[in-house]
Amino acid sequence: MNSASRRHGWWLAAAVLLPALAALPFFLPFHRQDFMIFLLLDVMLVVSYRLVTLSGEWSLIHMVLMGCGGYASALLSKRADLLVWLSIPLAALLTAAVALLLSFPLLRMRGFYFLIGSYAAGEAVRLAWKYFVYPFGGPKGLKLIPPLELQLPFLEQPLSFVEPIPFYLLLLVVTCVSLLLLYRLEHSRIGLTLHMVHWQPSLAEAVGVNSWRYRTLAFACGAFFAGLAGALFVHYLGSINPNQFAIGEMLYILVWVIIGGTRTFAGPVIGVVVLSVLNEIFRQYDEWRPAIYGLILLLSMRFLPDGLESLPGRLRGLWRRRVAAAQG
């Protein structure tokens, strides 16, 4: 397949998928609408996390960065009375700034040390949220965070985005734009340079790549989108507390990315969608859920070490072999 026809394929898929996704919540009960919202937020999280991993680093602070966006937007709108439409993008920028600051100590380290360092830094931030009742609200966090509202000329009441359907539609737009930007970034010259920094750091430096700069860029851009997801999330829920961003939540991101596969842009998206849907299906067998989840993880690691993204290729290979066997 050449790149032009592949691009057509993408546009076609988007043209079918987007209207379907937009229409979906109208046919779903309330709790499933909620599920879709959290799924979209998780998609933003894993795809922004992928950008960080492209530079070769596995971070454990991504979830806390999402929290930074949440806290920032909550404080800006609640305590500084900023318009929520402004506080959200501002919070995403602030999250990127926090990541930039953290990158000075963190990105001096590599590999395992970076992993542990990012965990420690994340816990430090979370402890600050817990410890300082002013402004962060301490362990109970912040409540009564102002919602997103839009005054439309043809409606008497302002449209409130605490209702699932309007919020879902807004989130769908933001997620699509974010995915598009991250996809472009990965397939730009910057994406190639990140690949160089990841796989042959010495060669990259030898031909003039400032690898520290590119690792920082990936870390801060990833943080921007995590912060954006966090900021949106907090105005939907109306509350935020430090436990929502604990390490256990971070592990989910790792699992989604690894099970989905790390080779392609679609891998983590497939991972989060498939595992979340399975998780939702088994919701009624509540006590069995962790066991079922664990079993799925084990099976997929045993039989699909390259992630769910490799499944279509494998099936195609199997099909071809069957056809060949039938003919020969």
Partner 1 sequence: MATAAAPLLEVRGLCKRFGGLVALDRVSFQVREGEIRGLIGPNGAGKSTLFKNIAGFYRPGAGEILLAGRPISGRPPYEIAGLGVVRTFQETTLFQELSVMRNLEAGCHLHASSGLFRALLGLDRERLERQRQAAGRILDFVGLRERRAQLASELPLGSQRALALGIALLAKPRLLLLDEPFAGMNPAETAHMMELTRKVRRSGITIVLVEHNMKAVMGLCDFVTVLNFGRLLAEGTPESVRRDPAVLEAYLGSAAGGTERASC
**Which residues contribute to the site for partner 1 (CB under 8 A)?**
181, 184-185, 188-190, 192-193, 195-196, 199-200, 202-211, 217, 221
Nearer to partner 1 by Cβ, of 220 and 231: the residue is 220
Tell me the two tokens of residue 213: 């700069």
Stated as kind and residue range, the H or E segment containing 43 is helix 30-54
At its nearest, how many Å lie between partner 1 and the CB of residue 207? 4
Beta carbon of residue 221, minimum distance to partner 1 (angstroms, whole number) = 7
Closest to partner 1 by CB, 96 vs 272, is 96
Give yes or no for a contact between 187 and 51, defined as CB atoms under 8 angstroms apart: no
Closest approach of Cβ 46 to partner 1, in Å? 20
Of residues 33 and 211, the one with the C-beta less far from partner 1: 211
Neighbours of 245 (CB within 10 A): 25
Q: CB nearer to partner 1: give 143 or 263.
A: 263
| Nearest distance, CB of residue 189 and partner 1, angstroms | 6
- At its nearest, how many Å lie between partner 1 and the CB of residue 255? 25
Give the Cα separation of 49 and 268 in Å (integer).
9
CB closer to partner 1, 6 vs 321: 6
CB closer to partner 1 out of 208 and 328: 208
Where does 205-261 show beta strands of DSSP type E? none
Taking each helix axis from N to C end, the angle separating 3-23 and 164-186, rounded to the nearest 10 degrees, works out to 170
Using DSSP's 3-state secondary structure scheme, residue 150 falls into strand
The nearer residue to partner 1, 199 or 319, going by C-beta atoms, is 199
Amino acid 227 reads G
Query: Per the structure block, which two tokens stand in for 290?
Result: 């962790």
What minimum distance in Å lies between the beta carbon of 206 and partner 1?
A: 5
Task: Give dist(CA 85, CA 311) in Å, integer.
Answer: 41
Measured from the CB of residue 325, what is the shortest distance to partner 1 in angstroms?
28
Contact 62, 222 (CB under 8 A): yes
Question: Under DSSP, is residue 153 helix (H, G, I), strand (E, B) or coil?
Answer: coil
Other residues' Cβ atoms within 10 Å of the Cβ of residue 32: 14
Structure tokens at 42: 């998780």
How many of the other CB atoms lie within 10 Å of CB of 232? 28
